[in-house]
Amino acid sequence: MELTPSEQDRLLIFTAAQLAQSRRDRGLKLNHPEAVALICHAVIEAARDGVTHAQALAIGQTAVRSDELLPGVASMLFGVAVEAVFDDGRRLVVVDFPDSDADVPGQVTRLQPTPAPESTEVVAVDVHNDSSVQISVTTHMHFFEVNPRLRFDREQAYGRHLHIPAGEHVDFPSGSTVTVNLVPITGERVIIGFAGLVDGPLDAPGAKEQAMAKAKALGYLDGGAS
């Protein structure tokens, strides 16, 4: 058979699925490994039958029913990933079990919403995208140094970043103007790297003026008063 390590791994899924199936046939409720094995097995065999990726995913989602699961198992069947051999090659299928139940192992309960980031010293800046493509800017980018093709009051953005939850971003579609809120960069306020416009302490004497001059010389679009 000349089986590869991945093919041998599929046999583990098959064996576990056969075991789970025999337990299901006896009327037992399925636990986490049993349910995962049956879902993966269903996807792999659907692919072998020649169905499409979308069809295999649908088959995986219905491979087990809520009433066949032990309490708590439904919530654990999130992001079940398996690679199956389709006619056009091996493909990754990620199955999220569609149902839930009230019993959730590891459940996190929050009784009040998390407060938003503190928002002193917010400035609003209108940003126009002169570029032919959409530009996206993330939270902790030094906004002053973003893509030169964004036109806005660069001086206002000096030493600031977007006032949005960490890890999120703002999209600037080509040709559009978007208003963003910016807040001061915290910590020691030292900006190293980025486009090299500052490369040092933000608040050093003359640092801002020097950065403004450098940005201008390099052709960064600026919608500010100057």
Partner 1 sequence: MTPEELREIDQDIAVHGARAGDFVRLGDTDLVVRVESDDRQIGNELQIGFGKNARDGMGMRSVRSDESCDVVITNVLVIDAIQGIRVTSIGIRNGRISAIGRSGNPDTMDDIDVIVGSGTVIIPGEGLIATAGGIDSHVHAMSPRVCDAALSSGVTTLIAQEFGPFWGVGVGSPWALQHGHNSFAAWPLNVGILGRAAGSTTAPLFEALEGGVCGFKIHEDTGAHPRTLDTTLTFADEHDIAIALHTDGLNEMMNVDDTIDVIAGRAVHAYHVEGCGGGHAPDVLRMAGHDNILASSTNPTLAYGVNAADEHIAMIISAHGMNPELPSDVEIARRRVRNATMAAENRLHDMGVIPVTSSDALGMGRADDTWRKTFAMASMFADSAILDGSVAADEVITSNERVLRHVAKITINPALVHGLAHEVGALKVGLLADIILWSYKSFASKPNMVIKGGIPAWGVVGDPGATVANAQPLIIGPQFGAFGVAPADLGVHFTNNASTTSVAGRRSVPVQNTRTIRGRDMLYHGVLGDVQVDPTGNTVTFNGEIVTSEPQSRSSLTRTYLL
Query: Which residues bind to partner 1, rule: CB under 8 A?
Result: 4-6, 9, 12-13, 16, 19, 31-34, 36-37, 40, 70, 72-73, 75-76, 79-83, 90, 92, 103-118, 136, 138-142, 163, 165-167, 169, 185-194
Q: Closer to partner 1 at the Cβ: 148 or 201?
A: 201
Nearest distance from C-beta of residue 37 to partner 1, angstroms: 8
Amino acid at 211: A
CA-to-CA distance for 219 and 126, rounded, in angstroms? 19
Q: Closer to partner 1 at the Cβ: 194 or 204?
A: 194
Q: Closer to partner 1 at the Cβ: 167 or 225?
A: 167
Q: Closer to partner 1 at the Cβ: 169 or 216?
A: 169
Nearest distance from C-beta of residue 139 to partner 1, angstroms: 6
Q: Closer to partner 1 at the Cβ: 21 or 223?
A: 21
Nearest distance from C-beta of residue 134 to partner 1, angstroms: 13
Q: Closer to partner 1 at the Cβ: 36 or 127?
A: 36
Q: What residues have CB less than 8 Å from 121, skipping those under 6 apart?
A: 183, 184
Nearest distance from C-beta of residue 88 to partner 1, angstroms: 14
Edge-to-edge strands, sheet with 123-129: 150-151, 123-129, 177-184, 160-162
Nearest distance from C-beta of residue 81 to partner 1, angstroms: 5
Which residue, 211, 194, 193, is CA-closest to 202?
211
Nearest distance from C-beta of residue 137 to partner 1, angstroms: 10
How many angstroms from the chain centroid is the CA of residue 69? 30
Query: If residue 6 lies in a helix (H) or strand (E), which one and from where to where?
Result: helix 5-25
Which residue, 61, 50, 49, is CA-closest to 93?
61
The 3-state secondary structure of 185-217 reads CCCCCEECCCCCCCCEECCCCCHHHHHHHHHHH
Instruction: Give me Rg for the CA atoms of the chain.
Output: 27
